[in-house]
Chains A and B, each alone.
Chain A
Amino acid sequence: MALTIHVKQEFSMKSVTLTASALAIAVAAPAFAQSRENVQVAGSSTVLPYASIVAEAFGENTDFPTPVVESGGSSAGLARFCEGVGENSIDIANASRAIRDGEVETCAENGVEEIIEVRIGYDGIVFASQQSGPEFTAFEPSDWFSALAAEIPQDGEMVSNPNSTWADVNGDLPDVEISAFIPGTKHGTREVFEENVLLQGCEDTGAYDQMVEAGMSEDDAESACMAVRTDGASVDIDGDYTETLARIESNPDGIGVFGLAFYENNTDTLKVATMGGVEPSTETIASGEYPVSRPLFFYIKKAHIGVIPGLKEFASFFVSDEIAGPGGPLANYGLVPDPELADTQSKIENETTLGDEQS
């Protein structure tokens, strides 16, 4: 449409410019003439495996083409999602955290005003070491705080973390050097780890109260609780779980943070530890007994529904009982099914946007 108007405007001008613009259209035409037929998804590398399972099944079970699922991380995916509306922008953003207010604003500024939020299930975060390593079988959040905190309050003053072995932290743990491999700050997993483990542990040990008593503001105390030591006892892994696994395999004392699905796929090499006395499994995470889990989401651009063929069908297919419910391929791979899946299904059916939910 825009192209024809362009030509009409040029019509009154010199013939030279007309040929030039015609040439430009001829060059640009192949890129525009082909309307996109497949759904495009990008975002969180945690959601990627599930999305790829569903995409493959969607292609096999329907007459729509198989969607494209790119990885890149929650923030990068949402940034691309918010670039605007149109065939050149993605239709769905995967995220291992809820969309932030700032991102909703950016979206709205670029014309992406109607966003449908879909929660697909929960992901557990587990702590595992190699099979032949020492017995890390039971952890409490407080152990992780005492082992990894940058500074610990002692007699009203903040001192740098004196613990060098797990036994220093808790007499029941093996007497080996602390060497933890935790997700880097670009991962959504890191946020969950900080809030559900480090901050929780900080409060459990009473360190948080001591910090506040010593005159810190609540915000400062919280960020002090979540500050991780940088003396080498804890290593940030910016790659994916495969990298963490490689580190664990070469270090018998190492203990790493993994997603439940990754651990379950590698039970022959990894040994899992309980957290707060609860062993991680889809059941304990669904019931909320196991403390470290987080919801996984994807976000749909409502403006693309009806424009990109198969978009709504793909979303409903994703959260159908057969796929995302208990016993489905996603649960089989390690996703913890959402007990409120029926609500999500009706949300997609009615195309309920974030704005509708708030009002």
Chain B
Amino acid sequence: MTDATANAAPAAGRRTSKSIIETDANTRKRNAAEARFRYYGMAAIGVGLFFLCALTFSILRSGLPAFTETAVTVDFTLSQEQFDEAEGQVLKTAAYEGFFVRELQAELNEEGASDVEVSEAAVGRIMGKVGSQIREFYRANPDRLGEEVSFTLPASSRVDRYLNGNLSREQLTNSRFLEPDDLDIVDGLVESGVMVNAFDWGFITGTDSGVDNPGGAGLGASIMGSFFMMLVVLVLALPIGVAASIYLEEFAPQNKFTDLIEINISNLAAVPSIVFGILGLAVFIQFAHLPQSAPLVGGLVLTLMTLPTIIISTRASLKSVPPSIRAAALGVGASKMQSVFHHVLPLAMPGILTGTIIGLAQALGETAPLLLIGMVGYVARQHPDGLASGLLDPNSAMPAQIYTWAARSDPAFYEKAWGGIIILLVFLLFMNAIAIILRRRFERRW
């Protein structure tokens, strides 16, 4: 203020000799500053967009191969004797795999798909873990023994990476996983149409697999784990959060005690999530003896984490309802509670729901607290078969599963981790889109 008056006085003295059409040095300076600021703004947005594009591109490039699977479709016959022999062994699946590999080898050599003799070991290296699929089929359909059945079975993860272009022939060194010469057989199989690279639904619906079987890994079980956790968060955090905010905003007296609660809630929102994980481990598992690795515990921990977010956003949307509405309701004889529940709350609802969904989306992507309550490892290995099993049986969650995959040594799991990120992002985008739609459609302005 004082600066402005100080500058104005000499400027007024000089202005007499200048035209108002001609811009003077001072105006040019101010215009230039404004133009510069616009460029800074555009540059900032440009940098943001660039990083967004780079991130999207790299996620899609690394993650899309995870959604496809290289599979071999062949006719295969298993005799009753072979079935009995395999069932009598300790590692039954390996026995089935052996039968399959030998039959495929014989077939390949007969047809002459490759100039050189195909060895059993090479076929074994090309094929993934096929034993359990074959065993499951014949255990379910013992009447099909002895007749020809068409199987579509996965190739090994390295063949998959070769066909996706992530592994070149030059990079491949001789190892027991895959040898460069095996690629001739692979090329032959692809040419003859026996081996195809197709969309893999199992990646979206399946369960986690052992570290030597990246082809069989799926995110389905952990999606269910995340779902049950979000259910717990929604059922607990929404009523508790909304009740707390309504009381604090509409009923509570303004005193030191409520001020203290308010400050604490704001502080809780900024507490690192790992702290809630340790709290969950100590309170829910060690003290309350709830089961380890259960989505129920994960949901409780995430509830604690989401509550402050929901309370803050709910209070903000209650505050934004004009006091005139409350005054009018009270004026026509409504009780305090009627005015809140009949008038204020419905008007604040879109804001509350938006806050809740954003809180849920935040909880959905949270990994750190789950590390401490045992949701990382080989955990998501079966689909829950009901509400109780969904809440109490050990399971993982999407981000924890991605974290687990990224740490495994087979590079194919690294691709699976990127693919998992795509699925997680789709869920988050979907939830944020719902929040935006709710806000746009139901929000009122005064």
Contact = CB atoms under 8 A, between A and B. Distances in A.
A and B from one assembly? yes
Interface of A: 30-31, 34, 36, 38, 40, 42, 45, 48-49, 51-57, 59-61, 65-66, 68-72, 83, 88, 90, 239-242, 259, 261-262, 264-269, 317, 320, 322-323, 328-329, 332-333
14 contacts: A31-B392, A40-B292, A42-B374, A49-B408, A56-B209, A68-B378, A70-B378, A242-B407, A265-B177, A269-B171, A320-B90, A322-B94, A333-B211, A333-B212
Contacts of B376: 70-72
B204 interface: no
Contacts of A262: 409
Nearest to A88: B289
Given A38-B394, A59-B381, A66-B381, A265 B292 contact: no
Given A240-B407, A267-B173, A268-B171, A52 B211 contact: yes
Contacts of A31: 289-291, 392
Interface in B390-446: 392, 394, 404, 406-411, 414
B254 interface: no
Given A34-B388, A69-B379, A56 B91 contact: no
B53 interface: no
Contact of A68 (B92, B211, B289, B394): B394
Contacts of A88: 285, 289, 291-292
Given A61-B91, A88-B292, A34 B392 contact: yes
Interface string B261-293: 000000000000000000000000110011111
Contacts of B73: none
Given A61-B92, A239-B407, A268-B171, 5 more contacts: A69-B377, A267-B175, A320-B91, A323-B91, A332-B176
Looking at A53, A261, A317, A323, which has the most chain B CB atoms within 10 Å of its CB?
A: A53
A266 B411 contact: yes
A60 B131 contact: yes
Interface in B198-214: 209-213
Interface residues of B, number: 47
B167 interface: yes
Q: Is the interface of B mostly helix, strand, loop or mixed?
A: loop
Contact of B90 (A34, A42, A83, A322): A322
A320 B379 CA distance: 23
A251 B400 CA distance: 29
Interface of B: 89-94, 131-132, 135, 167, 171-173, 175-177, 209-213, 285-286, 289-293, 374-379, 381-382, 388, 392, 394, 404, 406-411, 414
A68 B381 contact: yes
A268 B378 contact: no
Nearest to B207: A66
B381 A56 contact: yes
Contacts of A57: 91, 93, 210
Nearest to B294: A31
Contacts of B93: 57, 60-61
Looking at A54, A66, A68, A71, which has the most chain B CB atoms within 10 Å of its CB?
A: A68
Contacts of B404: 71
Contacts of B411: 265-266
B378 to A, nearest CB: 4
A49 B409 contact: yes
Contact of A265 (B289, B375, B378, B409): B409
Given A38-B394, A267-B173, A69 B378 contact: yes
B211 A53 contact: yes
A53 B379 contact: no
A258 to B, nearest CB: 9
B89 A322 contact: yes
Nearest to B216: A56
A45 B407 contact: yes
A53 B213 CA distance: 8
A90 B292 contact: yes
A49 B377 CA distance: 9
A265 B176 CA distance: 10
A285 B289 CA distance: 43
A53 B408 CA distance: 12
